[in-house]
């Protein structure tokens, strides 16, 4: 009857309003999250190296999957590896070998969003680089005349910058001169401070010392015990150990982001939207980072990261725009159409 129809329409409008409010609330979190992964992509050399390593693993472990079609047809439930090549081609092209109109429309609608997100990430990185420059300038100022505790804190800040943006690389020679000066004055004392700095970095970024190898572990111990008395040798060991730790930090960050993406895709529908946007922001942050370690990590895992971004964007688009007969938001339907294909690439 008329009253029932009106009540049904009111309920439908209420659901739509709730969904709109939820999306608005999640947007800022989405912007923050995608910046993390994008930063890793254009990050430092250590992260680029990890990325390339993951590319090799991807090819070895997912040899058949690397030939997946560029577009995943989210409107179909045919996502298994046995039928995805033929089933997706037929669905996306109408059997004529050409991309379907829907795919073109999806790509066109995603590009402005991608460009906007990448621009936001770049602006965020520029701001962080400015802050890092100020921090580094303050840490280097009068470094030799600071107390041991102050030196340690300044060196901790400087060591962190190796995995953050490009400021460390830009002022590498200046940093080297300051460290050489400290090591020359007191090789053993400087070595002990550096051992603490390295260990604090490992603890903060959850780097397991066993993954660094027995040789690196032994060198950290020698620095810690003040066994190295030559300033040049202390600096040489510091650079070797720091390089290895920075590489592993990038690896940990990259794997953590990919694990979050995997967990997101396995997660419940209730927080899918929020978590999806958060991971997207992190991946974009990795991708656009100028930090050399993050760049290495990104290059090591570029196929997986790029595919994950593309599929997460497609899933996000379906989450926001996919129609249904009742007009109500139905997370379970959205998940069933997209997660299987994305998991095949991210897991």
**Segment 225-239 mean pLDDT:** 97
- Torsions phi, psi for 163 (to 5 deg): -105, 15
Domain ranges, ordered by start, for the chain: 15-346
Encoded tokens for 144: 């030799």
pTM of the model: 0.55
Q: Buried (b) or exposed (e) across 177-212, using 16+ Cβ within 10 A?
A: ebbeebbeeebbebbbbbbebbbbbbeebebebeeb
Encoded tokens for 234: 């202390």
Higher pLDDT, 159 or 345: 159
Q: Of the spans 68-77, 277-286, 310-319, 338-347, which averages the highest pLDDT?
A: 277-286
Q: Give one word for 346, left, alpha or beta, with left for phi > 0 and alpha for psi -120 to 50.
A: alpha
Cβ atoms of 28 and 273 closer than 8 Å: no
**Segment 60-81 mean pLDDT:** 37
pLDDT digits (tens, 9 = 90+) for 87-117: 444 444 444 444 444 555 555 556 777 788 7
Sign of the four-CA dihedral 48, 53, 54, 60: positive
DSSP-derived letter for residue 146 is S
Confidence at residue 23, expressed as pLDDT on a 0 to 100 scale: 62
If you average pLDDT over every residue of the chain, what do you get? 73
On the question of pLDDT at 68 being above 80, the answer is: no
Confidence at residue 329, expressed as pLDDT on a 0 to 100 scale: 33
**Mean pLDDT lowest for which of 26-35, 265-274, 275-284, 289-298?**
26-35
On the question of pLDDT at 213 being above 70, the answer is: yes
Which of the four pLDDT bands, split at 50, 70 and 90, describes residue 291? confident
**Segment 292-313 mean pLDDT:** 86
On the question of pLDDT at 44 being above 70, the answer is: no
Give the integer Cα–Cα distance in Å for 140 and 128: 18
**Segment 16-45 mean pLDDT:** 59
**Segment 41-59 mean pLDDT:** 56
Which of the four pLDDT bands, split at 50, 70 and 90, describes residue 339? very low
Cβ atoms of 129 and 170 closer than 8 Å: no
On the question of pLDDT at 248 being above 80, the answer is: yes
């Amino acid at each position: 009857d008329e009253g029932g129809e009106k009540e049904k329409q009111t309920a439908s409008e209420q659901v739509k309003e709730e969904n709109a409010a939820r999306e608005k609330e999640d947007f800022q979190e989405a912007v923050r999250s995608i910046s993390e992964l994008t930063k890793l992509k254009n990050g430092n050399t250590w992260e680029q190296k990890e990325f390339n390593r993951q590319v090799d693993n991807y090819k070895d472990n997912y040899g058949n999957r690397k030939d997946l079609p560029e577009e995943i047809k989210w409107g179909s439930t045919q996502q298994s590896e046995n039928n995805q090549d033929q089933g997706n081609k037929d669905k996306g092209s109408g059997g004529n070998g050409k991309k379907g109109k829907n795919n073109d429309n999806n790509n066109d609608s995603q590009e402005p969003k991608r460009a906007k997100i990448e621009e936001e990430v770049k602006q965020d990185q520029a701001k962080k680089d400015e802050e890092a420059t100020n921090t580094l300038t303050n840490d280097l100022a009068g470094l030799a005349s600071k107390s041991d505790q102050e030196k340690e804190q300044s060196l901790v800040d400087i060591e962190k910058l190796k995995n953050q943006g490009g400021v460390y690389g830009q002022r590498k020679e200046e940093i080297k001169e300051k460290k050489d000066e400290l090591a020359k004055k007191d090789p053993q004392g400087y070595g002990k401070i550096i051992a603490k700095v390295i260990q604090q970095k490992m603890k903060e970024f959850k780097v397991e010392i066993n993954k660094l190898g027995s040789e690196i572990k032994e060198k950290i111990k020698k620095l810690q015990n003040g066994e190295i008395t030559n300033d040049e040798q202390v600096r040489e060991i510091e650079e070797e150990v720091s390089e290895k730790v920075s590489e592993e930090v990038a690896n940990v960050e990259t794997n953590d982001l990919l694990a979050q993406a995997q967990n997101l895709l396995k997660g419940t529908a209730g927080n899918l939207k929020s978590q999806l946007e958060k991971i997207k922001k992190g991946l974009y942050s990795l991708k656009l980072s100028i930090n050399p370690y993050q760049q290495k990590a990104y290059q090591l895992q570029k196929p997986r990261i790029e595919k994950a971004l593309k599929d997460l964007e497609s899933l996000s688009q379906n989450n926001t725009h996919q129609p249904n007969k009742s007009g109500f938001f139905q997370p379970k339907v959205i998940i069933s159409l997209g997660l299987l294909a994305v998991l095949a690439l991210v897991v």
